[in-house]
Amino acid sequence: MADITNQSLNEIIENVKTKKVSSTELIKAYVKNIESAKKLNAFVTTTFDQALDKAKQFDNKPNFDQLLPGIPLAVKDLFCTENTKTTAGSNILNNFIPSYESTVTKNLWNHGSFLLGKLNCDEFAMGSSNETSHYGNVINPVGDQLVPGGSSGGSSSALAADLTPATIGTDTGGSIRQPASFTGTVGLKPTYGLCSRWGIVAFASSLDQAGPMTKTIKDCAIMLEAMSGFDEKDSTSINKKKEQYSKNLKDNIKGLKIGIPKEYRVDNMPKEVDELWEKGKKILKDLGAQLIDISLPHTKYALPTYYIVAPAEASSNLARYDGVRYGYRSKQGKDLIEMYEKTRSEGFGDEVKRRILIGTYVLSSGYYDAYYLKAQKVRQLIKKDFDDSFKKIDAILTPSTPSSAFKIGEKTNDPVSMYLNDIFTVPVNLAGLPALSMPAGVDKQGHPLGLQLIGKALDEQKILNIGYAFEKNCGFKNKIKKWWS
Ligand code: GLN
């Protein structure tokens, strides 16, 4: 049989169901790939023995009626996994072994899959290049000098390099969609509240959302179906009937109205990104969709608003890491206060410290109204722009990122230029909407570029359908040479 690991998740599932491949054979193939891909640094922890046991159990007593029968999956190291180390890319959690399982990973295991390992990410998911991880930067399989995007960079790299058949990430301001775009893969940030946040290491609680990262749209629908659902342990979880996204996937988009926001044509955007957007519009139009020009006037405030709200919430969420309750504790310090201080200064990296400083500043008395409260008001205006537009359209098409993957080290000394990379992804998190990044083409260096489809709240099925139709007609093929093995 040809290499099983370069197939889509859906194809792999079919092969397991028709007994062309066993779960044990699958595990062995992935272990081989992972061992020969150490250069990519995508994994922080591997759980091969445990996975092999689970695969054998599955093969002895297979249940093919599950969504993910006998499928091994590696996940971002931000999801707490019971009895398996969970670092969030940070030194402060270098020895943290949760005694509980996140709801989202538990949902995946309940559908027949099991854990293959934990994937590297930016520290506490703060970053756009996976360079802030305490466990080293991750390399993009597309090219040995390139970042894989962030913060779910281990996830995008592992997926594109065939080290896991699908994966999950988290997206607070773009951390699923931007790495998907940089690696020629599919990434979906669901509606806020569709996937439980319980057991995910918190960054900015009003923005964080878990979602699938996959090779195809169909795979994305399968993973979303498996991981989503109401959870009473998350107070912001939406209580609604479960959808069958993969079964209901349709490629007929005739008559759908697609909004094209003028504010997403930014200064200095490479010509290729603009051309790709044009190509995307043409494909959807040829499939019978109607393109409608729209305006989202507050878009320009999205990035500054995000960089007030996200650090404010992060500074509060990260207060719990004090050397007493979790993970790392400094051996220095004469008294309790000094122990707290040393633990936090030794445990956190520079980007996390920067966010804590910004967050503490914007929440401090005297500045709270001017920054935090104002940002909350602007956030509502950004949301209202989308609400107004969605009265006349079904979905919005934009580029996913203003460029393809940049070089390792290119933006590390310039946080603002790093932050600018999230310009097209951040508004969606502020509005709580679902958005899909799908591979659409390459730039002149052959590096992948993605297009983004934004939907109404809880309209995941529709953007998946549009993505499905687009995928069939776009002709994109991820051509990654395995230079690392
Ligand atoms: N790059 C953004 C940041 O650093 C988004 C991160 C994310 O979505 N987790 O905040």
Extents of the domains making up the chain: 4-259+391-474
Q: Is the pLDDT of residue 278 over 90?
A: yes
- Helix, strand or coil for residue 242? coil
Which of 147, 422, 428 gets mutated to test ligand 1 (max ligand atoms within 8 A of its CB)?
A: 422
Q: Residue 299: is it exposed, middle or buried by C-beta count within 10 angstroms (0-12/13-18/19+)?
A: buried
| Residues linked to residue 76 through DSSP beta bridges, in sequence order | 119
Can you tell me the mean pLDDT for 307-333? Answer: 94
**C-alpha distances in angstroms, 421 versus 247, 353, 362, 406, 415?**
35, 20, 23, 10, 10
Q: What local confidence, expressed as pLDDT, does residue 326 receive? A: 83
What share of the chain has pLDDT > 90, as a percent?
Answer: 96
Q: What local confidence, expressed as pLDDT, does residue 153 receive? A: 98
Can you tell me the mean pLDDT for 153-160? Answer: 98
Q: How far apart are CA 160 and CA 35, in angstroms?
A: 15
- The H or E element containing residue 432 is none
For the record, the structure tokens of 353 come out as 């410290």
Residue 421 CA: which ligand 1 atom is closest? 1
Token pair 């962030």 is found at 150
3-state helix, strand, coil in the chain (%, to 5): 40, 15, 45
Residue 125 CA: which ligand 1 atom is closest? 9
Q: How far apart are CA 189 and CA 136, in angstroms?
A: 25
Report CA(46)–ligand 1 centroid distance (Å). Answer: 25
- Helix, strand or coil for residue 183? helix
For the record, the structure tokens of 202 come out as 């918190």
Report CA(172)–ligand 1 centroid distance (Å). Answer: 6
**Pairing label, strands 290-294, 257-261:** parallel
Residue 174 CA: which ligand 1 atom is closest? 8
Which band of pLDDT confidence, cut at 50, 70 and 90, is reported for residue 290? very high
Residue 175 CA: which ligand 1 atom is closest? 8
Report CA(174)–ligand 1 centroid distance (Å). Answer: 6
Q: How far apart are CA 253 and CA 3, in angstroms?
A: 34
The DSSP symbol for 319 reads G
List the end-to-end C-alpha distance of the chain, in Å, as a whole number.
Answer: 20
Report CA(451)–ligand 1 centroid distance (Å). Answer: 18
Can you tell me the mean pLDDT for 364-372? Answer: 94
Q: How far apart are CA 485 and CA 231, in angstroms?
A: 41
Q: What local confidence, expressed as pLDDT, does residue 1 receive? A: 56
| Residues linked to residue 290 through DSSP beta bridges, in sequence order | 257
Which of 131, 151, 209, 351 gets mutated to test ligand 1 (max ligand atoms within 8 A of its CB)?
A: 151
What's the residue count for the chain? 485
Report CA(262)–ligand 1 centroid distance (Å). Answer: 24
- Helix, strand or coil for residue 200? strand
Cβ neighbour number for residue 109 with a 10 Å cutoff: 17
Which of 122, 417, 430 gets mutated to test ligand 1 (max ligand atoms within 8 A of its CB)?
A: 122
Report CA(206)–ligand 1 centroid distance (Å). Answer: 13
- Cβ contacts of 252 within 8 Å, gap of 6 or more: 465, 469
Can you tell me the mean pLDDT for 426-437? Answer: 98
Atom 10 of ligand 1, nearest CA residue: 126
Q: How far apart are CA 72 and CA 60, in angstroms?
A: 16
Can you tell me the mean pLDDT for 403-432? Answer: 94
Token pair 């290499």 is found at 3
Q: What local confidence, expressed as pLDDT, does residue 269 receive? A: 86
Architecture of the structural domain at 4-259+391-474: Alpha-Beta Complex (3.90)
Q: Which residues of 111-138 are buried (b: 16+ CB within 10 A; e: fewer)?
A: bbbbbbbbbbbbbbbbbbbbbbbbbebb
Q: Is the pLDDT of residue 107 over 60?
A: yes
Can you tell me the mean pLDDT for 407-431? Answer: 94
Q: How far apart are CA 36 and CA 51, in angstroms?
A: 18
| Residues linked to residue 441 through DSSP beta bridges, in sequence order | 449
Are 298 and 379 a contacting pair, CB within 8 Å? no
- Tell me the HSE value of 239 on the side-chain side, using a 13 A CA sphere: 4
Q: Is the pLDDT of residue 178 over 60?
A: yes
Amino acid identity of residue 472, one-letter, is K
- Helix, strand or coil for residue 407? strand
Q: What local confidence, expressed as pLDDT, does residue 266 receive? A: 85
Are 462 and 394 a contacting pair, CB within 8 Å? yes
Mean predicted lDDT score pLDDT of the chain: 97
CA neighbor of 318 nearest in space, from 293, 297, 348: 348
CA neighbor of 381 nearest in space, from 302, 315, 472, 265: 302
pLDDT tens track for 373-383: 999 999 999 99
Q: Is the pLDDT of residue 71 over 90?
A: yes
- Ligand 1-lining residues (CB < 6 angstroms): 125-128, 151, 171-175, 203, 310, 422
- Helix, strand or coil for residue 173? coil
Can you tell me the mean pLDDT for 8-16? Answer: 98
Q: How far apart are CA 78 and CA 87, in angstroms?
A: 7
Which of 78, 131, 175 gets mutated to test ligand 1 (max ligand atoms within 8 A of its CB)?
A: 175
**DSSP conformation letters of 262-287:** GGGS-TT--HHHHHHHHHHHHHHHHT
Report CA(42)–ligand 1 centroid distance (Å). Answer: 18
Amino acid identity of residue 3, one-letter, is D
Are 311 and 355 a contacting pair, CB within 8 Å? yes
Residue 422 CA: which ligand 1 atom is closest? 1
pLDDT tens track for 449-469: 999 999 999 999 999 999 999
Cβ neighbour number for residue 387 with a 10 Å cutoff: 14
The residues annotated as belonging to the active site are 76, 151, 175
Report CA(442)–ligand 1 centroid distance (Å). Answer: 24
